[in-house]
Chain A
Amino acid sequence: MQTENIIRRAFFLVTLTSIVFLFGILVTLLLNALPALQKIGVGFFATTNWYPTAEPAQFGAIPLIAASLWITAGALLFSVPLGVIFSLFLSEVLPERIKTFLKPTVEVLANIPSVVYGLFGMVFLAPLVMRFFRLPVGLNGLTASIVLGIMALPTITSVCEDSLNAVPRTYREASLALGATKWETMIHVTLPAAASGVSAAVVLGLGRAIGETMTVLMVAGGAAVIPRSLLQPMRPITATIAAEMGETAVNSLHYQSLFALALFLLIITLLINQMADTVAARSRRRFKIQ
């Protein structure tokens, strides 16, 4: 009986690990970012010059935030319609046998390392974009958006497909029995019923795209100016952190300001995921599934 108790207690302590690390990450980033935030003040989120190595150094994060928003919006514009349509195809049209083969394929797409996507974007996609739009460089926001969109596809597709599958069959049967075609059933019954799951998928895709680092670092072009169009080179938050952290001295203002960027990114992604959770919980309640 005593071993039982020891094991229960030990396992309980281990279970706390993920909670400890979540707060550990928050606190660590906060401690490292705080000096910079105090020194730079609101200017960090309100000014438009990011010249961390100039004399005097300037830390205005707006161009970086704007770049993240542009690229993420571009990625979603491309991957949300494609992902939702593909998940409809996957769950409503294709026969079961092909589905069991295609689902793992989507899973595999999700596991391709981001640096390989980055390489693909740099060498294959960037020249295509350059030629098509007659630009001086192919490494820009659009190329980054396309690659990020491809990378967000598996997330959007699989979450979307799960929520379509969760719609009870009786819904479809009722609609079909009333004489609706399969397509009409999909559009007027199944998709609206799965709406909250679909929006959760979109939000998760958003979270994935905004936090992606290697691809944007390699493909987005790296210019820290406020973008006026998607066809310009940009430098999103993640790429800035990754590109500059290697060259800063520990505990310098630059180092701390990169931690402030990471903290900002962390809070944004936590909020986004919380939102996705809430939306997904709503769809679970609706169909009373675990």
Chain B
Amino acid sequence: MKRNRLLIQKLWFSVLGLSGLIIAIILFALVFFVTTRGFRVINWEFLTAAPKDGMTAGGIFPAIVGTFYLTLLAIAAALPVGVITAIYLNEYADRDSRLVQVSRKAVNALAGIPSVVFGLFGLALFVNFLHFGVSILSGGLTLAIMILPVIIRSSEEALSAVPFSFREASLALGASKWYTIRRAVLPTALPGIFTGAILGIGRVAGETAPIMFTAATFFTGRLPSSIRDEVMALPYHIYGLMTEGTHPEQQAPIAYGTALVLLVLVLGIDLIAIIWRYRSRKMKKW
């Protein structure tokens, strides 16, 4: 009887294992597909030259630069706001207060909004209403709103992981609240805040829908000269190459190469964050 049941268990465990296998195969197929197809076209020129011959040859340098600028602006705008919000919610506000509950709801709601909705919001507010035009500025700010919840959540998590005794010790020595936050709480929480920010960067770099109408352009060979310029961006470049243009056969390989660059970039950034998190957790002595 017991033996029979153990047999059933073995059977079901293999089904469970099968699910893991299926997921592993999917992940492997995706990475293998992008890597092998992309690797063929990547060389030094691909990474450092501008596109030429109507997007059928040349490199993707302007798209790399564009993605860099957009990501930089987004994180520069979202990080201070996100960290300060987290500090207020975690250190100043009363845990059960109305404000904390409402803003937590708002953060959750923001996190669940589809990316294309952010794109439309950016288009209506930044591009049309504020007359920023289709530009790095509009796109970067749109992306910033989008990653704000990610940064707030991870910063809050990092802050609440700081032991209470740290604050008490500092306050007992006569330090003010702000001094305590600045010198005792923040330095301790910093690795956690940064890993959250880095994961946010990884996410922003790969977003397409929010920048489609706010920042990105497909046909431009030149680099942006100001924050008011429209730019090429890696994710939008992939989409453009696969759906626009007149030479799909010549454009597809460039799309594979661009996808590989984007994938390496995003996963590389994630890997840095994950390793950093792992190491700072190990270094913890409390």
Which residues of A line the B interface, CB within 8 A?
1, 3-4, 7-8, 11-12, 14-19, 21-22, 24-25, 28-29, 31-32, 82, 85-86, 88-90, 93, 104-105, 107-109, 111-120, 122-124, 150, 153, 181-184, 204, 207, 210-214, 217-218, 238, 241-242, 245-246, 250, 258-259, 262, 265-266, 269-270, 272-274, 277
Contacts and interface: CB of A to CB of B under 8 A. Distances in A.
A214 B233 CA distance: 15
A258 B92 CA distance: 41
Contact of B145 (A16, A21, A250): A21
Interface of B: 5-6, 8-9, 12-13, 15-17, 19-20, 22-23, 26-27, 29-30, 33-34, 37, 81, 84-85, 87-89, 92-93, 99, 102-103, 105-121, 123-125, 128, 145, 148-149, 152, 176-178, 199, 202-203, 205-209, 212-213, 235-236, 238-239, 242-243, 252, 255-256, 259, 262-263, 266-267, 270-271, 274
A184 B7 CA distance: 12
B263 A112 contact: yes
A213 B116 contact: yes
Given A18-B103, A115-B239, A213 B81 contact: no
B87 A11 contact: yes
Given A86-B23, A245-B123, A266 B113 contact: yes
Contact of B239 (A15, A214, A258, A270): A214
Among all A-B residue pairs, the 8 with the closest Cβ atoms: A113-B206, A211-B114, A183-B9, A89-B16, A273-B112, A11-B88, A213-B116, A213-B209
B33 A124 contact: yes
A116 B206 CA distance: 9
B96 to A, nearest CB: 12
Given A15-B99, A115-B238, A183 B12 contact: yes
Contact of A119 (B87, B103, B242): B242
26 contacts: A11-B84, A18-B85, A19-B106, A21-B145, A22-B109, A25-B121, A28-B125, A32-B120, A89-B19, A93-B16, A113-B262, A114-B115, A114-B206, A115-B208, A153-B23, A183-B12, A214-B208, A214-B239, A242-B119, A242-B212, A245-B119, A246-B212, A265-B116, A269-B114, A269-B117, A277-B108
Contacts of B259: 115-116, 119
Q: Which residue, B17, B255, B259, has most C-beta atoms of chain A within 10 A?
A: B259
A34 to B, nearest CB: 12
Given A119-B242, A250-B128, A114 B208 contact: yes
B24 to A, nearest CB: 9
A214 B262 CA distance: 15
A211 B116 contact: yes
Contacts of A112: 30, 206, 263, 266-267
B120 A15 contact: no
Given A14-B88, A19-B103, A153-B23, A181 B6 contact: yes
B242 A12 contact: no
A270 B92 contact: no
Nearest to A12: B88
A105 B109 contact: no
A250 B113 CA distance: 23
Contacts of B255: 119
A144 to B, nearest CB: 15
Contacts of B105: 277
Given A109-B27, A211-B116, A29 B209 contact: no
Contacts of A182: 9
Contact of A111 (B27, B121, B202): B202
Contacts of B119: 242, 245
A28 B124 contact: yes
Q: Which residue, B19, B103, B110, B178, has most C-beta atoms of chain A within 10 A?
A: B19
A123 B37 CA distance: 11
B174 to A, nearest CB: 13
